[in-house]
A and B are shown apart, each in its own frame.
Chain A
Amino acid sequence: MSHRENFVNREIALIDILDTVLDKGVAIKGDIVISIAGIDLVYLDLKVLISSVETLVQSAQDDLVSSLSSENMDREKEALARATERS
């Protein structure tokens, strides 16, 4: 198996996607209705994040976000829960 096959399309953490699409990509000024100024995830309230992850798990079950496996969401939810317990 090539290395590429081994790595390609591995599941990406939701937080990684958020960090990138909210912060990177080309930003166009003017004429834009709204541009979300880089939301810094590091400073986001983790509790808010957890509750919204829970919402997403729910919607994944409702097939709303069918491609996000609930197993993956559960894992992330656990990780976030651990993080808040510690803080």
Chain B
Amino acid sequence: MARLLYLYGIALKDEVEDKEFSQMKTIDGKNNVEVIAYGECAAIVSPVEVEEFGEEVLEVKTNQMDWVQEKAYLHHEILMELKEMATLIPMKFCTILESETSLEKKMDAHETEWAILLQKLSGKEEWNVKIYNHPGQLKEQVAEHHPDIQKKREEISQMSKGMQYLQKKKLDQFIDEQVVQEQQSYVNQIHRDWSDLCEETAEKKVWNKSVTGKEEDMCWNCAYLIDKEQVEKFLSSVTKANEEGESTGWHIEVTGPWPVYHFSTLSKSEVE
């Protein structure tokens, strides 16, 4: 049976040499994790079979969402475990190499760059922050306190019924726009504060409500690379912001530490 290699990540050889991986889960649940050293680095892989992870099979399987979910979750779980054992450059889901020779070719080409990146990532953690806002309170605040709105309201009250209807609609729209502006400036401010505590940040796409299933608007979705020594400070700032923002509908969700998925890109975004 032809043997492919599923690549989980790259670590420094010194950090993984004497570690025990045989008890770890693997993507196919059959073969064990293997460590293939090359120069200063080591690739963490497990063999997979063509029948399960070959190109043609994967083309079908990656269209089956249940398979993708189960395996992608497993991929993540394995990377979470690996990251506890060593500084890790995490690979994307289903990074599969044809043979040990092709892996060695990759290692040969990128080993130096990977070693530098690993040294840079050592002692750092990735945390993910999502900021939600229930616009109700902000809307009320804007409607009651925005000077332009008070003025507009008075103007509208002097108008004819038909005009009033139209102008009120316009005013509602204006309020909504102000709320979005308020949300943006809140997020910008808080992101600036947090950025000071971080090594790097990676902004992610905000999800719409049909994806989050929440009533709140997602206003911010971002990954932060933080030195372990700063994490406590960062999280304390998040906790404080959560307490202070509650009354104006803010809610901050933090998850982590993650494998450094967002901060492992090399000088070129893809490894040729």
Contacts and interface: CB of A to CB of B under 8 A. Distances in A.
Contact of A32 (B69, B96, B214): B96
A12 B235 contact: no
A17 B265 CA distance: 18
Nearest to A56: B69
B66 interface: yes
B264 A67 contact: no
Contact of A6 (B4, B77, B235, B261): B235
Given A10-B255, A33-B4, A59-B66, 12 more contacts: A6-B235, A18-B68, A23-B92, A26-B90, A27-B270, A31-B97, A31-B102, A31-B106, A33-B97, A65-B70, A82-B213, A84-B210
Contact of B261 (A21, A76, A84): A21
B97 A20 contact: no
Contacts of A41: 211
Contacts of A51: 65-66
B73 to A, nearest CB: 6
5 contacts: A14-B73, A15-B211, A18-B73, A25-B264, A33-B96
A35 B93 CA distance: 8
Interface in B178-214: 204-205, 207-214
A18 B91 CA distance: 14
Nearest to A41: B211
Given A30-B272, A34-B94, A79 B73 contact: no
A20 B72 CA distance: 10
Nearest to A67: B77
A87 B208 CA distance: 11
A33 B54 contact: yes
Interface string A45-81: 0101101110110010000110110000000101110
B266 interface: yes
Interface stretch (B34-42, B55-63, B138-146, B150-158): B55-63
Interface in B242-266: 254-259, 261-262, 264-266
Nearest to B71: A21
B271 interface: yes
A9 to B, nearest CB: 9
Contact of B69 (A16, A18, A29, A79): A18
Contacts of B54: 33
A29 B271 contact: yes
Contacts of A79: 212-214
Contact of A29 (B205, B212, B256, B270): B270
B102 A21 contact: no
Contact of A27 (B68, B95, B238): B95
B220 interface: no
B75 interface: yes
